[in-house]
């Protein structure tokens, strides 16, 4: 009977450890310092094209506090390579168009590790709208 206690304790703590790990790696200001060379995020609404983990409502809720009402969108001239994009003359990437405010964009920048892991560039989508796209550095 006593041999089960460590297993039960580990199972009980697992969700807390997972939540702590996700917060530390994706949301915590302790693990990301916005590089000084990046300009501040402009006030107002921003359009962001997402094609990876941010397509999932739970991830969006976790990262910036709501799942939003994304619209289907396409980015031409690129193809997916895992969670990254690479230029491709005939490629089309399916994704979602998010509309976020400047606070939410700041949280997305932290999630994507802007200036460390990704850069945020304006790209024209297939429907003619311009949106921010995170591209691997």
* pLDDT tens, residue by residue, 33-58: 889 999 999 999 999 999 999 999 99
The mean per-residue pLDDT over the stretch 98-127 comes to 95
Per-residue pLDDT tens digits for 82-105: 889 999 999 999 999 999 999 999
Q: 32-136, what's its fold?
A: Hypothetical upf0131 protein ytfp (3.10.490)
In this prediction the pTM is 0.80
Among 12, 24, 23, 84, smallest CA distance to 50 is for 84
Output phi, psi for 90, to 5 deg: -105, 5
């Amino acid at each position: 009977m006593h041999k089960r206690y460590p297993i039960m304790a580990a199972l009980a703590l697992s969700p807390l450890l997972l939540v702590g790990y996700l917060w530390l790696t994706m949301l915590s200001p302790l693990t990301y310092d916005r590089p000084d060379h990046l300009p501040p995020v402009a006030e107002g609404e921003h359009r962001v094209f997402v094609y990876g983990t941010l397509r999932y409502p739970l991830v969006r809720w976790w990262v910036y506090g709501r799942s939003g009402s994304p619209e289907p969108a396409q980015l031409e001239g690129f193809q997916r390579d895992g969670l990254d994009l690479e230029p491709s003359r005939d490629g089309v990437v399916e994704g979602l168009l998010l509309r976020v405010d400047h606070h939410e964009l700041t949280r997305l920048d932290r999630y994507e590790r802007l200036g460390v892991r990704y850069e945020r560039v304006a790209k024209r989508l297939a429907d003619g709208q311009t949106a921010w796209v995170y591209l691997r550095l």
